[in-house]
Structures are given as structure tokens and as C-alpha cells.
Amino acid sequence: MKRDFYSENISTFLNSSSQEILGALADNNDFSLEQTQKDAWNQEIRILKEVLKNYNGSIFFEYSIPRMGRRIDVVLLIRNVIFILEFKVGEKEFLLSALDQVSDYALDLKNFHKTSHLPLIAPILIATHAKSILPNISLTHHNDNVLFPIKTNTELLVTVIDNVLQFADGEDINTVDWAAGNYSPTPTIIEAAMALYNGHSVSEISRSDASAKNLRETSNAISKIIRNAKENNEKAICFVTGVPGAGKTLVGLNVAAKHFNKAERSSTVFLSGNGPLVSILREALTRDKVKREKQKGNKVRKGEILSSVKAVIQNVHHFRDECLKDINEAPFEHVTIFDEAQRAWNLTQTANFMQRKKNHPNFSQSEPNFLISCLDRHKDWAVIICLVGGGQEINTGEAGISEWIESLNLSFPKWHIFVSNKLTDSEYAAGNALQILEEHKHVIFKEELHLSVSLRSFRAEHLSLLMKNLLDLNLKEAQLNYQQVKTKYPIVITRDLEKAKKWLKEKARGSERYGIVVSSQAQRLKPLAIDVKSPMEPIHWFLDEKNDVRSSFYLEDVATEFHVQGLELDWACVTWDADFRFSQNAWQHFSFVGTKWHNIKKEERKIYLKNAYRVLLTRARQGMIIVVPSGDIEDHTRNPNYYNSTFDYLKEIGFEII
């Protein structure tokens, strides 16, 4: 797939007319071609024809970055350097957002474009009317051959290129090989949702290496199940399992985007009980769509776009409530995707809620049973896709996957059941229900329905296993896991929150998002200015920019496991309170009530607390710092003994102390 609007060797570019180049750019342009865009291209062409007179190499205009939904103005390959040029025509200032933008482009190529892994990458921001100040050229402290963004104007661009070439070493870049290099991005779920919603395929925005290939295989297997159900007028349900961060939600969003078709009355909807995830995805898609439509010159209303987004991504409880209005009416959708299906409510929780909130005093179905019955109302065909995470239950009444299995066994014998071959693993909480499935007439186990490789951290595939062993107190295994991840994925520990904040800011580049995450039970972090009871708005925390005090970047508001489950940060600070304390034989579980800590005795609540820390410790894509406070000997609620054993345990695993 051609990823640029125009590409040539530099000599051909210099010998071609500006009109010829502009024509090629216009022919490949996806958007409404405004005069301002034509003028910008003309300026860039004019500038580069002058600047590149004495260079050999290749030039690429409008180079696509699908993961980010953007295009790089110009990529130059000269000798052994990849130059990324972002033009701000007519600008006098170097805006922080523009510097982040060009830095993001450089990091995207470095991290996800195979033939860009080794060469020096020089991101350059060109404000054409800025004052002439000789720029500083230096590598970032990450030592990954990416320069700090270089600020320059038109007059000094030649000097910048010369200085970078003198700075660089290594072999010259083969243009043909570079252009053919495999692009294997690992997008955040927000980036992935935007790309899929705008027509990109899952193959364009996901890794394509052997270890991650079953992301596409899983999507294809589900599509085949949907087609067969539709052709044969059958009802089918499939259970997709995966390790944390393996791409279950990405698969679900891909299926939703691919099979959404109102015209054929066979629409697909993505459902989640995760309120913050639904709100954030909807807002992100809406903002992105508004921006794209304005770029095309179209007048749009945000409310109208939000309404169309809501048709694809819905809160599962709102879907349930609609189905309650008329128990005989089938929902509009024939295909429903339930994200984090293991979080569906058991009978007790559902009946209690229905009596208190919906005035249904004798409700006798668990949430899974009722949701299957809603799709069973279709007289022709229907498909349910359950995306199942292991060890992710963090709320009272969350039943695990057993409730779905038992409902199928007891009430829906005609449904065809497609099961991941890993659903038998203990962390999926299927229990004895799977044994009953063996007697069901329509059960097929499919290997493709399991996602085995974590894609959340493109730097450390084995992070989820490390955290599983850490939480299971398998010290030796955790130590071995850490040796596998530490060269690519830094994990450090400290007793000082201010040091942690400084570490985050030093590590993050461009618009890489960082923030502080804590357990919802961490009520004695108030002396550190962390109040878990203080309201925060997840949309602002996850989507707003660095200059917004409500954003994660400000390191003032913190997110809990309820805010971040299903989402991710690039860099995270996990601040560990005395609610979850290490001891040699087992974790100790506490909740803070009134003026002191109380032992948690219910096994169910202990599991929720452990899973909360599992969620927190697997949110970061690129690295994390864990803060275990020192406590205060004069504060009986923050006795140092409550914290020291946990810190010592983390130290014994091998995490570096700062």
C-alpha cells in the first residue's frame, strides 16, 4: 500500500515542475482541497527546491501515519538520516503542540516502522517566519537515535540538515528497502477506535509479526461465524479470551466497524459496562470526526456526530434497559459485542438492581441470561461475541464467565457455542459450567478465539505474566520475567512521589500520555495530595492536552482501577497504599473505615482488591514507576511497617530504586 501522496528521488523532484508535483499531491488527496492547502504545498515545494539543490536522496510528501490518523508533511532520506519536516507556513512561533506533533511522528517511525528502527531520526519543526537562531542538535536521553525536535526557519534549514548529517553515523539508507519496510503499529485503544471508525482495517493499525498474527485470525474467525449464522438462520455465541492488553477490545471494535450496516438491518453494536471507556471512546471519536469533517470543508454539529457514534458504541446497561421496555421486541442489532463480559452481574446483583432502580421486584435472571434472551428474540439469526478478560473482576456482583455458560446450558440449548480453547484456564472463572458444556449439542472449541500476546506494551510482551507472578507471590518466576522485560520496559520504584513525577516528565516525549493511578481503596494518600474520593472526569483526564489542569499530564487528579480499566497510558505512576500489603505467605487486604484500617475478610472482596492492583500494574505501554510511601511513625494510619514489606518485596524482584 502506497503511504504517501508523492515520492521521488531528490534529483527528479528538483527537475519536475511545481505544477507537476502539486498535481500528484492533489490527485492523492483524500480531503476537500482548500486553497490554503494548495498554498501550503506550493510554499513547501518552493522552499525545498531551494534547500535540496546540493543533496542526493529521496523525498516523500504527506507520508501516512495510520495509527495517529495523520500525515507527515515531508520525509527526507539523505545518506544515513531520516528527516521529518513539519512546516508551519507563516508562523513566527514554535508552539508546544507543533513540537509534540513532529516528535510523535519521529517516535511512530522509530517504534513501529521496521526499516526506521536503526537510522538516526531528525524531527524538524519549520516556522517559516521565525527569527534566525542557530538550533541545538542533540540526542534525547533515551539513546534510541531520535533527536530532540529541532526548531528552525526557512533560511537556516540547509544549515540544520548539514549539521545533522555531520552528527550522524551508520550505513546509508536504502530508499527502496525503507519504503517497503513493514509498518507494525501498536495503537492505544483510543487511537485504534478512531482509525477503525474512519475506515482503516485492523491490519493497517496492528502489528503483523508472527507473535501477534492471531489478532487478524481472531477477527476473521468471528466474521466467519457471523456470516454462517446469517446464511443458515442460526444463533451463535463465541467467547474470545486473552491476556491483559492482548487486543480483545480492538477485535470487538473491528468487528463492530466492519459489520455495522443500518441499511441491511443487520447492525452491530459494541457494548461495555465500563462507563469511563464508553464515554472516552465516544468523545474521542466525535472530536476526531468533527475535526476531519472541518478539514473537508463540511459544516458539522458535534451533537449529530455524537449521536451516530452512540449507535456503534453503547453502554450495556442502556442496551439492557431498552430491551426491558418491550420483552417481545427484538433489538435492532443482530450482532452484539460484549466487552469485558466477565464483569456482567450475577443473579443476586441484577435482581437487587432491578428492584431498587427499575421497579422490577421479581426479576429472576442474571444479566448474562437476560442479555442472551434479548438476542434470542430474533426470529432469524443473531450473534453474541463475549470478550473475556482473566482476573479482571473488580466490582461487587461481577460473576465471571460462569454465569454465561450456565445460562446457555440451562436456557438456550439451540444456540451454537464457539469457545476459546483457553476458557478452561482458572482465571476465567468458568468453574464447573464448562463440564456441563460437554453435553451441549453445539459446542466448538477454536484456538483462534484466544489472544495470547499482550499488545498494550509494544516494549514488553511479557509484562502481564510478570505482574501475574508478582501478585501470585511467585518471586523466582517474577525475577525471571523481569529480566526479560527490563531492557525495553523500565520499571523503577521509589518512596518519593515528587521523584516519580519528575521521572514521568523526563521519560515522556511528544504527546505520550502519563499520569498517576491508585487503588480506589487507597484512602491514606491524602498527605501526598492524593484523594481518591475527589471527583475527576475521565474524558478530560484521558483526552485533554498538557495545558489543561484536568488532564493526566498535570499530575494532580489521579485515576483508579475503575477509570483506567480497558484503557492505557504510555507512562504510569502506580502509587501503592496500605490497603494491599505484602507478607511472606499471602497478601494482606484492608479497607479504611472511619479512623483506622480494617481487615477484609470476604474472599470475594480480596479478589477484587488484588485484581484492582492487576489493572493498575498493567496500564503502562512504555514503562512505569511504583511509589510505595515511607509512611509516618507519628501517624497510626500510615505506620511505616504497613509499607516497608511491600517495598522490600518489589526491591527483591529486582526493580531499580530511585
**Is 457 within a domain?**
no
Name the grid cell of 305. Answer: 456526530
- Element containing residue 229 per DSSP (H, E): helix 214-232
- Element containing residue 152 per DSSP (H, E): strand 150-152
Clarify whether residues 300 and 440 are in a common domain: yes
d(CA 363, CA 350): 8
> Is residue 157 predicted with pLDDT exceeding 90?
yes
What pLDDT score does 355 carry? 80
Weakest-pLDDT range from 14-18, 83-87, 484-488 = 484-488
What pLDDT score does 398 carry? 62
Clarify whether residues 421 and 527 are in a common domain: no
**Is 218 within a domain?**
yes
The whole-number average pLDDT for the span 501-522 is 96
Residue 548: pLDDT band with limits 50, 70, 90: very high
The whole-number average pLDDT for the span 319-335 is 89
What pLDDT score does 242 carry? 81
CA dist 346 → 60, 393, 432 (Å): 56, 12, 16
What pLDDT score does 124 carry? 97
Number of residues that make up the chain: 658
Residue 254: pLDDT band with limits 50, 70, 90: confident
What pLDDT score does 203 carry? 65
Q: What are phi and psi of 282, to 5 degrees?
A: -60, -45
Clarify whether residues 497 and 368 are in a common domain: no
d(CA 388, CA 366): 17
Number of domains in the chain: 3
d(CA 291, CA 302): 10
Residue 264: pLDDT band with limits 50, 70, 90: low
Residue 396: pLDDT band with limits 50, 70, 90: low
Clarify whether residues 195 and 174 are in a common domain: no
Of the three residues 418, 451, 484, the one that is the final residue of a domain is 451
d(CA 426, CA 424): 6
Instruction: Return left, alpha or beta for 429; rule: phi > 0 is left, psi -120 to 50 is alpha, else beta.
Output: left
Our CA dihedral for 159, 163, 165, 166, rounded to 10 degrees, sits at 140
**Is 456 within a domain?**
no
Residue 138: pLDDT band with limits 50, 70, 90: confident
The whole-number average pLDDT for the span 368-388 is 94
> Is residue 5 predicted with pLDDT exceeding 70?
yes
Number of C-beta neighbours around residue 476 at 10 A: 9
Structural domain that includes position 523: 463-657
- Element containing residue 647 per DSSP (H, E): helix 641-653
Clarify whether residues 445 and 491 are in a common domain: no
Please give the single-letter amino acid code of residue 598.
H
d(CA 598, CA 187): 41
pLDDT tens per residue across span 91-108:
999 999 999 999 999 999
Q: Which residues contact 197 (CB under 8 A, 6 or more apart)?
A: 257, 285, 288, 289, 309, 312
For the chain, helix (H) and strand (E) counts, in that order, are: 23, 22
Closest CA to 370 of 327, 312, 413, 400: 327
> Is residue 312 predicted with pLDDT exceeding 60?
yes
What pLDDT score does 33 carry? 65
The whole-number average pLDDT for the span 187-197 is 83
Q: pTM higher than 0.75 for the full model?
A: yes
Select the more confidently predicted residue: 440 or 146.
Answer: 146
Buried b (16+ CB within 10 A) or exposed e, 624-647: bbbbbbebeeeeebbeeebbbbbb
> Is residue 393 predicted with pLDDT exceeding 70?
no
Clarify whether residues 637 and 526 are in a common domain: yes
What pLDDT score does 604 carry? 87
Weakest-pLDDT range from 201-205, 318-322, 539-543 = 201-205
Our CA dihedral for 317, 318, 319, 320, rounded to 10 degrees, sits at 50
Buried b (16+ CB within 10 A) or exposed e, 86-95: bbbbebeebe
What pLDDT score does 1 carry? 64
Select the more confidently predicted residue: 480 or 211.
Answer: 480
Residue 436: pLDDT band with limits 50, 70, 90: low
Question: Is 381 in contact with 232 (CB distance < 8 Å)?
Answer: yes
**Is 569 within a domain?**
yes
d(CA 446, CA 238): 9
What pLDDT score does 391 carry? 55
- Element containing residue 37 per DSSP (H, E): helix 35-51
> Is residue 66 predicted with pLDDT exceeding 90?
no
For cell 442489532, the residue is 333
Instruction: Return left, alpha or beta for 337; rule: phi > 0 is left, psi -120 to 50 is alpha, else beta.
Output: beta
Closest CA to 384 of 455, 334, 329, 330: 334
Residue 140: pLDDT band with limits 50, 70, 90: confident
**Is 515 within a domain?**
yes
Name the grid cell of 609. Answer: 482488591
For cell 507512562, the residue is 571
pLDDT tens per residue across span 550-596:
999 999 999 999 999 888 999 999 999 999 999 988 999 999 999 99
Clarify whether residues 125 and 200 are in a common domain: no
For cell 442472551, the residue is 372
Strand 313-315 to 335-339 pairing: unpaired
Coil, strand or helix at 427: helix
**Is 255 within a domain?**
yes
d(CA 577, CA 528): 11
Clarify whether residues 242 and 167 are in a common domain: no
Name the grid cell of 8. Answer: 521521488
Is residue 499 exposed (0-12), middle (13-18) or buried (19+ Cβ within 10 Å)?
A: middle
Q: Which residues contact 415 (CB under 8 A, 6 or more apart)?
A: 235, 236, 237, 372, 376, 408, 442
Of the three residues 129, 155, 179, the one that is the final residue of a domain is 179
Of the three residues 421, 451, 481, the one that is the final residue of a domain is 451
**Is 1 within a domain?**
no
Clarify whether residues 481 and 519 are in a common domain: yes
Residue 16: pLDDT band with limits 50, 70, 90: very high
Average pLDDT of the chain? 88
CATH of the domain at 441: 3.40.50
Clarify whether residues 653 and 547 are in a common domain: yes
Clarify whether residues 148 and 217 are in a common domain: no
pLDDT tens per residue across span 20-52:
999 999 887 766 567 778 889 999 999 999 999
DSSP conformation letters of 364-386? ---HHHHHHHHHHT-SS-EEEEE
Number of C-beta neighbours around residue 263 at 10 A: 6
Clarify whether residues 311 and 170 are in a common domain: no
Q: What percent of the chain has pLDDT over 70?
A: 90
Q: Angle CA(334)–CA(398)–CA(245) in degrees, nearest 5?
A: 75
